[in-house]
Each structure stands twice: as C-alpha cells, then as structure tokens.
C-alpha cells in the first residue's frame, strides 16, 4: 500500500485546496442529502437517498489500484493531439471507467471539466484506491492553459482535448443524418429548374415544393382545402388483423408549404440524397433512413397555390413551387433531392463511460456504402437510440457470434454452439430517436451488420 504523497512545504498552497475542497464538498453534499426530504416537490424515499449517497461516494472514491493499467504513469503532461480515450487507456485497464478515476458524479459526466494541453495529470494513491487530478488546480477551479507566444483569438473550449479524434466523426456530425420514415416522406423536394435543367450547382436557381396535400390527386390541396385521408393509411384494427398491412409505411400527414417569414432572414435548407432504409436485423422493421448531405439552398420566394379556370370552365388549383437559390453544392444537385431544415451541430463535450442501465442490441449498418466490414476508427449504425437510453459517450462492447459446428470427437456428431466472444469496443458519439452512430475504438476482427453489442 502506497501512502498519499506528502507535498513540500512550499507547494502546500497548490495541493491542499483540491483535497480540502473535495472533503468539504462531500460533507456538505451528504449533510444536504440527509436533510432534504423533497426534490422539486416530489418526496425522496430513504432508498433513493441511500442510492444517491452511494453513487456520489463511489464516484469520488476513485478506482482500486489493481484496476490501473500495468504501466500507468504517476504524472502525465497533456499534449496537443491527445484524446480523452487515449489518456484513459494510459491509466486504466478499462478506459470507460474514467469518470471513477477522475472522481466524477453524474452531473459532471454530462457537463465535464475540460482538460487542456500543457496541464499535468497526477495519479494519487491512498488506502488501495487511486484518483487522478490536475496538478496545481483546486477542484472546480479554472484550469491554467499554456499558450505559445503568438497572437491568436479562440475559445478555450476549442483548445480542450476531445473525447475521441474529431476528424474521424466530424463528417457524421454535419454530412450525415438519420431520420425516421415520417420525416423522410414529408421532406420537401426539388421539383424543377429553369430551362428544364436536371443538374444544379452553386449559384443556380431551383424550384421546390413541400409534400402537403393529397398525393393521389393531380393537384395539391391548398391550406384552406384539407386533403382527403390517404388511401394506404393503416388503422390500428387493420394492422392487427392484417400483418402484411402493418409492414406498409403509412402516408405521412400533410405538411405546411415553404414560406418566407416577414422580418426574419430567409430560411436555409440542407439538400440530401441517398436516403437508405436501415432495418432492424432481428425484426426486419425499418428503423429510419440515412440521408447524405450534398448541399445547401436558401429560400428566395414562398410556395403557394393559385386557382385558375380550365378551358371547360371548371376551377382548378395549380401549385406554385417555392424558389430556391443553391448556395453550396458538394456534388451536382438533381431533381428529386430532398430538403430538410438546416440544423447546425454544436460539438458537445462528454466523457467516455459505461451505460448506467443494461444495454444490448445490434449493428444495423457499416458506414461506407458497399463496405461489408468495419475496422478500427470506422463508423457503424446501431439499432438503439435516445428512446432506449443510449447517450453520447456510452462505451459498448462488440460481440462476435459463436460458430456452430459438429463435434468431431463424438461418433454421434452433435452440433456445438460456441459461445459469443468479445470482439472490441465502440463509443456512441451521436444519437437519434431509434438509431445511433458509434466509432469503433478497438477491434479484433471485422464488424459487420448483425453483430451484437452489450455492456462493456
């Protein structure tokens, strides 16, 4: 057992505040928890209070020394290019236990303290447990950032080390989108271009319409003329009595037209293509669609309808599509490409950690079109999302399915079902309702669609 290192007298003012702050915060937190009988008006049961206290104590108690990596350094200077996962791997046999080593509670996992290049991490051992801290910084204090002597202007958050390499996942934060069937069906689409052009690029004009109104009629209904119910819409009773009918995607409800809003900047829309359906390997149900970003368009004129008189004297409704200007084109834009409201993604700081509740599921797709297997630092799509409790930062274990083979040592030749084996680790970096993106961090063999994942 290694005693807690004693600081030099001259350095006491740098080290003592961190530990005294932790002890004081722990005492105050426990006292407050013991006194509080309600939370936001809801009663707190003794069992809930005990669970919260144990969680807080476990989070601040560090990890057993035996769980440290064999060559865990006593001190480590953070460098530019480091990632949180890399540093966690230096100190821990199980890197997803970083929150325990760093002494985090649940709130700090979701809003973590950032680590910057130039800071020194110090490993403290006491009574068989280990805790990692920053040298010369009181807990919760503002970290000191070492800057080279040059003129610059940037946010400190941009300097902090990321959880995983940003360049590997940035295209999936901005250029790929997982959408549900309803959103895909309701998305506006480019319908025409001047001079009957079929390929468009930056600076070109295009015409688009939102899918509002009846799809079965030759013209769209105006907002004042609601459309008739879709003929293929499924009622609960019909779905229950006809399994094949339940597999049909119901036609989405009508949407509003593309309209300029007075007093506001013109709306910008992302242009998407290749909306590939993603099916659950176990059920065969479509969980959503993966759409690829190919450009941006800005709304120049609103969509509308107008009433005209046909040669036979009958009134008819004509669609006047919205006018768009293409402001960005990563590749040629075509008639039929879909439009969705532009949504800027802001990089979120999170900590690699194990899910608090048991998780299991399957890989539904390997990103890369025709690619069959995913290796290290490649992206996979999972059949679990926000509604299943997955969140950014969750570390999951990939499983290789055990083979089935005859027992060659037995004359009866019975079939052997070999157990599943761990194949690697992955980290969830973006979640949607029913699907998630994950980065493969460690792998023994290639990952393919249908492979299972569990708790790490």
pLDDT for the residue 35: 40
**Gap between the Cα atoms of 164 and 8, Å rounded:** 36
- Nearest of 188, 179, 338, 189 to residue 249 by alpha carbon: 179
Mean pLDDT, range 106-116, rounded to an integer: 68
The pLDDT mean for the chain works out to 75
pLDDT of residue 132: 87
Q: What is the DSSP letter of 313?
A: S
Adjacent-strand bridge partners of 76: 121
What are the DSSP calls for 204-264, one per residue? -EEEEE---S-SSSSSPPPTTSPPPPPTT---HHHHHH-HHHHTSPPPPPP-PPP---TTS
Q: What local confidence, expressed as pLDDT, does residue 192 receive?
A: 93
Higher-pLDDT residue of 181, 430: 430
Q: Is pLDDT larger for residue 237 or for residue 321? A: 321
Q: Please provide residue 253's backbone torsions phi and psi, each rounded to the nearest 5 degrees.
A: -65, 155
Which pLDDT score, from 0 to 100, does residue 279 have? 86
Q: Which residue has the higher pLDDT, 11 or 451?
A: 451
Instruction: Name which residue leads in pLDDT, 51 or 132.
Output: 132
Q: List pLDDT tens digits, range 232-259.
A: 322 223 333 333 333 333 334 445 788 8
Distances (CA, A) of 350 to 265, 322, 337, 391: 33, 40, 34, 10
Beta strands in 19-86 (DSSP E): 38-39, 42-43, 63-64, 75-77
- The two three-digit tokens of residue 434, written as one number: 């029913």
Given pLDDT bands bounded at 50, 70 and 90, which one contains residue 77? very high
Q: What is the pLDDT of residue 308?
A: 87
- pLDDT: is 320 or 10 the higher one? 320
What share of the chain has pLDDT > 90, as a percent? 29
Q: What is the pTM of this model?
A: 0.67
Per-residue pLDDT tens digits for 363-422: 998 876 556 788 888 899 999 998 999 999 999 999 988 888 888 898 999 998 888 888
Of these ranges, 56-70, 106-120, 124-138, 402-416, the one predicted with the greatest mean pLDDT is 402-416
Task: Please report which confidence band the pLDDT of residue 137 belongs to, taking 50, 70 and 90 as the band edges.
Answer: low
Provide the pairing of β-strand 286-301 with 268-279. Answer: antiparallel
Q: Is the separation of the CB atoms in 375 and 440 below 8 Å? A: yes
What 3-state class would DSSP assign to 417? strand
pLDDT in the model for residue 138: 53
pLDDT in tens, 15-49: 333 333 333 333 334 344 444 444 344 455 555 45
pLDDT tier at 438, thresholds 50, 70, 90: very high
Average pLDDT over residues 163-185: 81
pLDDT of amino acid 221: 40
pLDDT value at position 318? 86
- pLDDT score recorded for residue 201: 93
Which tens digit of pLDDT belongs to each residue from 209-238? 986 554 334 444 433 333 333 333 222 233
Burial group, residue 294, by CB count within 10 angstroms (0-12, 13-18, 19+) = buried
């Amino acid at each position: 057992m290694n005693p807690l290192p004693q600081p030099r007298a001259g350095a006491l003012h740098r080290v003592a505040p961190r530990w005294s702050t932790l002890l004081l915060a722990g005492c105050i937190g426990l006292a407050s928890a013991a006194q509080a009988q309600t939370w936001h008006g809801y009663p707190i049961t003794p069992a809930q209070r005990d669970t919260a206290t144990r969680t807080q104590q476990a989070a601040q108690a560090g990890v057993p020394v035996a769980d440290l990596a064999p060559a865990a350094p006593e001190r480590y200077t953070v460098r530019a290019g480091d990632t949180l996962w890399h540093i966690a791997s230096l100190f821990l046999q199980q890197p997803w236990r970083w929150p325990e080593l760093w002494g985090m509670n649940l709130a700090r996992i979701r809003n973590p303290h950032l680590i910057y290049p130039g800071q020194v991490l110090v490993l403290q051992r006491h009574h068989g447990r280990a805790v990692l801290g920053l040298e010369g910084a009181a807990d919760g204090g503002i970290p000191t950032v070492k800057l080279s002597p040059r003129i610059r202007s940037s946010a400190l958050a941009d300097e902090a080390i990321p959880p995983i390499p940003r360049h590997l996942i940035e295209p999936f934060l901005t250029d790929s989108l997982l959408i549900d069937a309803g959103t895909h069906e309701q998305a506006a689409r480019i319908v025409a271009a001047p001079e009957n052009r079929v390929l468009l690029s930056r600076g070109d004009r295009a015409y688009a319409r939102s899918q509002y109104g009846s799809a079965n009629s030759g013209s769209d209904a105006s907002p004042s003329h609601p459309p008739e119910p879709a003929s293929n819409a499924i009622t609960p009773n019909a779905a229950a009595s006809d399994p094949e009918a339940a597999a049909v995607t119901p036609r989405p409800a009508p949407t509003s037209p593309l309209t300029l809003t007075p007093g506001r900047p013109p709306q910008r829309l992302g242009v998407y293509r290749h909306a590939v359906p993603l099916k659950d390997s176990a059920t065969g149900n479509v969980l959503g669609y993966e759409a690829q970003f190919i450009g941006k368009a800005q709304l120049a004129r609103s969509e509308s309808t107008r009433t005209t008189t046909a040669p036979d004297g009958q009134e008819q409704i004509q669609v006047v599509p919205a006018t768009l200007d293409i402001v960005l084109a990563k590749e040629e834009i075509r008639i039929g490409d879909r439009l969705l409201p532009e949504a800027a993604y802001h990089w979120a700081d999170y900590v690699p950690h194990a899910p608090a509740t048991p998780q299991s599921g399957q890989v539904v797709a390997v990103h890369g079109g025709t690619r069959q297997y995913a290796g290290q630092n490649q992206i996979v799509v999972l059949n679990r999302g926000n509604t299943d409790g997955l969140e950014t930062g969750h570390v999951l274990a990939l499983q290789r399915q055990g083979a089935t083979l005859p027992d060659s040592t037995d004359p009866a030749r019975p079939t052997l079902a070999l157990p599943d084996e761990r194949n690697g680790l992955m980290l969830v970096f973006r979640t949607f309702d029913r699907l998630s993106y994950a980065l493969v961090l460690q792998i023994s063999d290639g990952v393919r669609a249908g492979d299972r994942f569990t708790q790490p």
